[in-house]
């Protein structure tokens, strides 16, 4: 497979447009127990994501195929596309089929085998797809990596993974899958699906078709962490405790990195598809010129290394940095039990 899920670590493209609505989030309003005011940032879901792909299937390493020369007994055989992208069959030399459609591979085989058979006609059938896969992980009954041999939507992928994990005690899934913080990552950027609308309300306008190497993750609702990412010395999730504040969270990750821009630290709160965002002058807090800011479970704290012009840009960078690295971490753990995980830092090229 040419692409790899770990490319997500270095490619963080902001693929979705967004706009802001509503009042500005005042994180200090009335303390930790009072209602806060937010600036809501709504990500626009590209309607093209809802259309089934029309591209023909193309072969890649690992794909299993069956080949037979019609009219020639004993020529049916199973083979696969090797890691170098070639197939080896009958008297033909190794033929590079990586990226070819099945009809194109069949025509190539017929041309090469014409040196040994008179006008050979072949039947080429794909029996197993391994080159195109999607990651479906989290609070599911059968989370794992699934082949993408035909068009598949998010709902179909969740169904294939056995559906949302159900508590044997309550018989519900509501408390086990955190739909507000579930996400789909594609080429380093989050596709802004509203999972609550999709899975609780049956809103098919959120039922996106998957592409090869997509990463779908439904986290546990039982965790209550705060995620400190960006230009800090030890970016990581922190277990939420009562009275946790912005400055306190920064201290737990060993402080800001030397290149941090502390005048506009981002706090992202609520649903990833429709986040509420605030900019906070952490420099003023650390120098005693402003009061500290209380945090809530699941907050994302993003420390940039330079200023941006718009709140929407801050929101996109923060959310995409969060989901891309969490996808890489969860994918690494799924691939290897010895995977130690990686921190979250500023995306390259931001």
What is the CATH number for 29? 3.10.560.10
**Count of domains for the chain:** 3
5 belongs to a structural domain: no
1 belongs to a structural domain: no
Last residue of a domain, one of 193, 218, 243: 218
Strands (E) located in 121-275: 122-128, 133-138, 144-147, 183-186, 189-191, 215-218, 225-230, 236-239, 265-269
CATH of residue 113's domain is 3.30.1950.10
What pLDDT tens digit does each residue of the chain (350 aa) get? 444 443 333 333 333 445 554 445 556 554 433 333 457 776 677 888 889 888 889 999 999 999 999 999 999 999 999 999 999 999 998 999 999 999 999 999 999 999 999 999 999 999 999 999 999 999 899 999 999 988 999 999 999 999 988 766 655 555 578 899 999 999 888 999 999 999 999 999 999 999 999 999 998 888 889 999 999 999 989 999 999 999 999 999 999 999 999 999 999 998 888 888 999 999 999 999 999 999 999 999 999 999 988 888 888 888 888 888 778 777 777 777 676 666 544 443 33
Judged by DSSP in three states, 97 sits in coil
Closest Cα to residue 80, out of 95, 91, 271? Answer: 95
pLDDT of residue 167: 65
Last residue of a domain, one of 170, 197, 218: 218
54 belongs to a structural domain: no
Report how far residue 131's alpha carbon sits from residue 264's, in angstroms, rounded to the nearest whole number.
43
Closest Cα to residue 319, out of 270, 254, 256, 259? Answer: 270
Same domain, 286 and 214: no
pLDDT of residue 170: 58
What number of CA atoms fall less than 13 Å from residue 175's CA on the CB side? 7
Domain that holds residue 155: 133-218
This prediction's pTM: 0.76
Please classify residue 82 by burial: count the beta carbons closer than 10 Å to its beta carbon, then call 0-12 exposed, 13-18 middle and 19+ buried: middle
Question: Checking phi first, is residue 138 left (phi over 0); if not, alpha (psi -120 to 50) or beta?
Answer: left
178 belongs to a structural domain: yes
Same domain, 239 and 277: yes
pLDDT of residue 340: 64
């Amino acid at each position: 497979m040419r692409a790899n899920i770990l490319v997500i670590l270095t490619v963080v493209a902001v693929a979705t447009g967004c706009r802001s609505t509503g009042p500005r989030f005042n994180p200090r309003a009335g303390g930790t127990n009072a209602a806060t005011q937010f600036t809501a940032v709504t990500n626009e879901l590209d309607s093209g994501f809802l259309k089934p792909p029309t591209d023909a299937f193309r072969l890649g390493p690992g794909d299993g195929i069956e080949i037979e020369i019609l009219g020639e007994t004993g020529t049916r055989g199973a083979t696969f596309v090797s890691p170098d992208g070639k197939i080896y069959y009958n008297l033909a030399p190794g033929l590079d089929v990586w990226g070819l459609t099945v009809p194109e591979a069949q025509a190539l085989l017929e041309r090469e085998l014409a040196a040994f058979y008179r006008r050979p006609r072949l039947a080429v059938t794909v029996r197993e797809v391994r080159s195109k896969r999607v990651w479906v992980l989290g609070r599911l009954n059968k989370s794992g990596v699934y082949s993408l041999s035909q068009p598949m939507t998010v709902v179909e992928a969740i169904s294939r993974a056995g559906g949302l994990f159900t508590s044997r005690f309550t018989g519900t899934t509501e408390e086990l899958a955190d739909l507000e913080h579930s996400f789909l990552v594609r080429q380093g950027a989050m596709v802004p699906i509203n999972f609550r609308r999709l899975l609780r309300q049956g809103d098919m306008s959120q039922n996106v078709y998957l592409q090869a190497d997509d990463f779908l993750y439904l986290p546990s609702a039982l965790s209550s962490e705060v995620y400190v990412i960006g230009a800090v010395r030890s970016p990581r999730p922190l277990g939420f405790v009562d009275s946790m504040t912005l400055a306190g969270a920064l201290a737990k990750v060993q402080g800001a990195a030397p290149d941090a821009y502390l005048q506009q630290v981002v706090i992202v709160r609520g649903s990833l598809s429709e986040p509420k965002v605030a900019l906070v002058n952490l420099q003023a807090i650390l120098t005693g010129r402003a009061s500290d800011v209380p945090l809530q479970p699941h907050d994302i704290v993003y420390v940039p290394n330079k200023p941006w012009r718009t709140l929407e840009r801050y929101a996109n960078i923060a959310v995409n940095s969060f989901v891309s690295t969490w996808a890489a971490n969860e994918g690494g753990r799924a691939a290897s039990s010895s995977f130690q995980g990686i921190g979250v830092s500023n995306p390259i090229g931001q």
